[in-house]
Amino acid sequence: MNVLPTAPLRELAHQVGFDLVGFARAEPIPPESLLSWVAAGYAADMDWMGERAAERLDVSILLPGARTVISFANNYWRDDAASVDSPIARYARGRDYHSTLRDRMKAFRKTLSLRYPELGTYGGVDSGPMMEKVWAARAGLGYVGKNGCFITESHGSWVLLATLILDAEVDDYGAGPAADRCGACRRCLMSCPTGALVGNGRVDARACLSYQTIENRERQVPEAFRVKFDNLVFGCDICQEVCPLNRRPVFADHARFEPRAVAALGAVELAALTPEQYQELIPGTALARARYDGLRRNAAYALGVAKQASARGVLEKLSGDASELVRTAALWALSQLEP
Ligand code: B12
Ligand code: SF4
Ligand code: SF4
């Protein structure tokens, strides 16, 4: 296979809708950061993080003969008035980003395979066993901040990543990770309500509200974390909102990132969602990962934390819900309301 020229690949990436693109050599990743993170228990019960560690650390297991990793990023920040107070993290307010970035990567690969029919590729968005922030750093798109998020010069950390492995070399690999711009700042560390940022850009998922609201969806959330569900029902953006490098966000002017109707709802409406409303509002968004009961559990906690007396009616109804998860959360929330 010939060495591929990067200039037309960059152009193609922009044509299919990516904001940023970069190229890295497909060299193995030093195992220390992933293995010590898993060994410390920071992966919580996300067993898949450790189970496929070999692939995460060496992309040639995923694609034999791998030579290049392309990292793509999409800005998603919006400030639409209807969703400004949403208890849903910004990345999840529009159409599910997995399908948006996958569709863009599919279009990229389609043209690539027409141009280079022999080329082997392997792609993923989030759920693939690849360390996407490491590849984005190696590809020169930015660096991992103390908040554990990947920060770019142009769009701050309000970007989502997609990753594509090629079994061919390219003609320009760029300069590698961008300089760390955190300096002496510690805002994210001071602002994280649960102390989940444990240093060097590492996140203890067990304490992270993003994990607790999204991944830990079948059990009650430990009380120490539940009491931090302050207008927070799905995901958490606190360590990004406080970051000075996010002060000049760019509006993501694309319908796919436009907040959907669900992003106009508050915790009361989310707690009261009927199965029919859930079916109408949630499929096709990233919120589906929390499932019906997980979402209502989170919303019940948020109402308890807000001590919102007007929520008593909906919480009383949920305290008789068919789901034990929801019933228990609602009873706890009721116990938090003023008498
Ligand atoms: C597991 C996971 C989580 C976990 C753990 C978070 C974490 N930071 O590890 C939980 C559930 C908590 C989570 C939460 C969120 N997540 Co998440 N998550 C992932 C996932 C699947 C794997 C991350 C991982 O490998 N972690 C293990 C640690 C050890 O690796 P790491 O995060 O890369 O960090 C180390 C290395 O980067 C290394 N390092 C740093 N620089 C360099 C440079 C080089 C050259 C090398 C070799 C290494 C290195 O140091 C870091 C610390 O050890 C990725 C998708 C993917 N497949 O990569 C999405 C991903 C990281 N998540 C994403 C998002 C959007 C989020 C949330 C913002 C969602 C939300 N609003 O609620 C939060 C942010 C929480 C936070 N402060 O990080 C985006 C990140 C976008 C961005 N700009 O950073 C990703 C990339 C998904 C995507 N495709 O867009 N997530
Ligand atoms: S996402 Fe929220 S809970 Fe997780 S590290 Fe950031 S501020 Fe802390
Ligand atoms: S808040 Fe400060 S320390 Fe945290 S990621 Fe942003 S610049 Fe770095």
Q: Which parts of the chain have pLDDT scores under 50?
A: none
- Residue ranges in the chain assigned as alpha helix (H): 6-16, 32-39, 48-51, 53-57, 97-115, 132-138, 187-191, 209-210, 223-226, 238-241, 267-271, 275-281, 291-306, 312-318, 324-336
How many Å apart are CA 109 and CA 263, to the nearest integer? 32
Q: From the CB of 239, is ligand 1 less than 6 Å away?
A: yes
Q: Which of 197, 231, 301 to mutate to test the pocket of ligand 2 (most atoms within 8 A of CB)?
A: 197
Ligand 1 centroid to 337 CA: how many Å?
36
One domain for residues 15 and 149? yes
Domain end call among 166, 189, 223:
166
Q: Which domain holds residue 10?
A: 6-166
Q: Are residues 271 and 160 in the same domain?
A: no
Identify whether residues 14 and 157 lie together within a single domain.
yes
Residues 265-297 have pLDDT tens digits of: 999 999 999 999 999 999 999 999 999 999 999
Q: What residue owns the CA closest to ligand 2's atom 8?
A: 192
Output the CA 295–ligand 3 centroid distance in Å: 29
Please tell me the predicted confidence (pLDDT) of residue 176: 86
Does the Cβ of 66 fall within 6 Å of ligand 1?
A: no
Question: Which of 119, 139, 166 is the endpoint of a domain?
Answer: 166
Q: Rounded to 10 degrees, what is the CA torsion of 291, 295, 297, 298? A: 140
Identify the three-state secondary structure at position 122: strand
Residue 174 is predicted with a pLDDT of: 81
Indicate which ligand has the atom closest to the C-alpha of 126: 1
By alpha-carbon position, which residue is closest to atom 7 of ligand 3?
Answer: 182
Residue 244 within a domain: no
Contact 196, 41 (CB under 8 A): no
* Assigned domain for 220 exists: no
Q: What is the pLDDT of residue 152?
A: 98
Write the residue with the smallest CA distance to atom 22 of ligand 1: 131
Task: Identify whether the C-beta of residue 265 lies closer than 8 Å to the C-beta of residue 177.
Answer: no
* Number of independent structural domains in the chain: 2
Residue 60: strand, helix, or coil = coil
- Same domain? For 133 and 269 the reply is no
Catalytic residue among 45, 80, 103, 126: 126
- 21 and 151 share a domain? yes
Q: Are residues 35 and 160 in the same domain?
A: yes
* Residue to mutate, 210, 237, 239, ligand 1, most ligand atoms under 8 Å from C-beta: 210
Q: Is residue 286 part of a domain?
A: yes
How far is the C-alpha of 286 from the C-alpha of 214, rounded, in Å?
Answer: 10
Whether 205 is covered by a domain: the verdict is no
Distance 185 CA to ligand 3 centre (A): 6
Of the candidates 75, 79, 78, 83, the one whose C-alpha atom is nearest the C-alpha of residue 231 is 83
Is 271 among the domain residues?
yes
Is 293 one of the annotated active-site residues of the chain?
A: no
Contact at 8 Å (CB) between 146 and 201?
A: yes
Residue 320 domain flag: yes
Q: Count CB neighbours of 248 within 10 A.
A: 9
Tell me: the pLDDT tens digits for 185-197? 999 999 999 999 9
Q: What is residue 234's DSSP assignment?
A: B
Residue 225 lies in a domain: no
- Residue 193 CB-half CA count within 13 A: 16
Residue at 258 is within a domain? no
User: Which pLDDT tens digit goes with each residue over 4-42?
Assistant: 999 999 999 999 999 999 999 999 999 999 999 999 999
Q: Distance (Å, rounded) from C-alpha 203 to C-alpha 21? A: 26
* Cβ-contact 56, 29 below 8 angstroms: yes
- Among residues 147, 166, 185, the one where a domain terminates is 166
Nearest atom (ligand 1) to Cα of 152: 83
- Give the domain CATH number at 287: 1.25.10
